[in-house]
Amino acid sequence: MENIKKAAELIKNSKKVFALTGAGISTESGIPDFRSSSGYYKKFDPIRALSVDTMIGDPKRFYSEGYLILKDLNDRKPNNGHIVLAKLEEEGYLSGIITQNIDNLHFEAGSKNVYEVHGETRGVHCIKCGAKYDFNYLKNKIEDGEIPPKCEECGGVVRSNVVMFGDMMPDDYTKATYELQDTDLLIVIGSSLTVSPVNFLPRYVEDLIIINNTPTPEDRRAKFVFRENSGEVLMNIYNEVMNG
């Protein structure tokens, strides 16, 4: 518990704190880590299942593989880790979150300032005219057998807002890099920091707290490293921040 107390003090004494979250924070919500032995990628080749080329060139394969992953994420609920981060933001100890996750759980938990650098599964859009719809529009089209789903405005193909293999990084990534320019503490949660370009983000920040079950390339320079489930660690840190 000594490191929990010290981590809480570091958070309280830092002028600007951000969190960077990866798949590991959502495993307690029943979402398997894409790169674990039990993850989705054990069933599908990720570069094919969630690629722009497959979505456009082989839509039947995309909607029988990649789409199933996106659909599954819409039924999940935030866990203690997501809720604690929302509370830390509400109390003024956290300036925002940068997330690699597309599961919407930070928003579900009540976080306000969230940069989704790999997109999200709440909405979809037409790649021709840009018309926007919620995810149920896509879901209903697929269930009615319309593959690929079409836009009711112009007839163009409708796709999810997830950043897939072959896509450019979204504006949220650029905005996140600017946010980190004057951030003095970054809390990395549930990320192996092996996926580019997100793995470069910690280099913008001097002080790091890392909460991850496996080693990361940034462990050696982190102030504190916790090899435990993120929900429990974050709850302990939150309690210490508020009551310590």
The confidence score (pLDDT) of residue 72 equals 84
pLDDT, tens only, 6-42: 999 999 999 999 999 999 999 999 887 655 555 555 6
The confidence score (pLDDT) of residue 139 equals 95
The confidence score (pLDDT) of residue 201 equals 97
The confidence score (pLDDT) of residue 66 equals 86
Q: How far apart are CA 40 and CA 226, in angstroms?
A: 26
- The answer to whether the Cα torsion of 21, 25, 26, 29 is positive or negative is negative
The confidence score (pLDDT) of residue 46 equals 66
SS (H, E, C) the chain: CHHHHHHHHHHHHCCCEEEEECHHHCHHHCCCCCCCCCCHHHCCCHHHHCEHHHHHHCHHHHCCCHHHHHHHHCCCCCCHHHHHHHHHHHCCCCCEEEECCCCCHHHHHCCCCEEECCCCCCEEEECCCCCEEEHHHHHHHHHCCCCCCECCCCCCEEEECCCCECCCCCHHHHHHHHHHCCCCEEEEECCCCCCCCHHHHHHHCCEEEEECCCCCCCHHHCCEEECCCHHHHHHHHHHHHHHC
CA torsion, ordered 163, 169, 171, 172, to nearest 10 deg:
70
Residue 168 burial by CB count (10 A; 0-12/13-18/19+): exposed, middle or buried?
exposed
Residue 169 burial by CB count (10 A; 0-12/13-18/19+): exposed, middle or buried?
middle
The confidence score (pLDDT) of residue 145 equals 95
pLDDT, tens only, 81-94: 999 999 999 999 99
Catalytic positions: 118
Is the pTM higher than 0.75?
A: yes
The confidence score (pLDDT) of residue 73 equals 84
The answer to whether 180 touches 204, Cβ cutoff 8 Å, is: yes
pLDDT beneath 70: ranges in the chain: 33-46
